[in-house]
Amino acid sequence: MTETTETTATKLETATFGAGCFWGVEETFRGVPGVVATAVGYAGGTLDNPTYRDVCTDRTGHAEVVQVQYDPAKVTYETLLEVFWNNHNPTTLNRQGPDVGTQYRSVIFYSTPEQETAAQASKAALERSGRFKRPIVTEIVPASTFYQAEEYHQQYLAKRGLSHCHI
């Protein structure tokens, strides 16, 4: 007699965050248990199928973003929001460290009403906490078309042995 086990297909969910240069942001999210895949790319702009060169002109309106596929049974969206807030400066408009331009803005692209509610609540809680002396400038906007960046940008830091780099 053989034993059978029921398997339940887990429905993965997607979250999209912009928090400066996407290389470090991707590496940070790749290390979160429950994250099953990441991809870097561009969102929030006006040009279809932008290239890195296009986005770097600061004229397309796109942000460098990381699209995170995750298993909600293993990691919550709220946990991903904590990772987002804890790994960049949400008070600097259109810049992170030495990177300046709208492509480096702090932004959360939500895909569902639940994500919007959670993102707004987490931002409000962070503002109330007094952790930052300056106002939080992070945009919380509906998800737009995600354009995957060129292959050489995918897992850029990991490919170079820099997997412990922080954003």
**Domain CATH number, residue 78:** 3.30.1060.10
What are the φ and ψ backbone dihedral angles of 79, each rounded to 5 degrees?
-65, -40
Would you state the structure tokens that stand for residue 28, as one six-digit string?
């940070």
Residue 8 in domain: no
What's the predicted TM-score (pTM) here? Answer: 0.88
Residue 152 in domain: yes
The DSSP call for residue 167 is -
Q: Which domain holds residue 89?
A: 13-159
Nearest to 41 by CA among 50, 30, 32, 33: 50
Is 21 one of the catalytic residues?
yes
* Catalytic residue of the set 15, 19, 21, 108: 21
Residue 126 in domain: yes
Our count of domains for the chain comes to 1
Residue 167 in domain: no
Give pLDDT, residue 69.
97
Looking at every residue in the chain, the average pLDDT score rounds to 90
User: pLDDT tens across 99-153, in order?
Assistant: 999 999 999 999 999 999 999 999 999 999 999 999 999 999 999 999 998 877 7
pLDDT confidence bin for 154, thresholds 50/70/90: confident
Residue 5 in domain: no
Give pLDDT, residue 163.
58
- 55 within 8 A of 104, measured Cβ to Cβ: no
Give pLDDT, residue 152.
75
Residue 165 in domain: no
Q: How far apart are CA 162 and CA 87, in angstroms?
A: 16
Q: What is the SS3 assignment for 141?
A: strand
Residue 149 in domain: yes
User: pLDDT tens across 79-90, in order?
Assistant: 999 999 999 999
Residue 58 in domain: yes
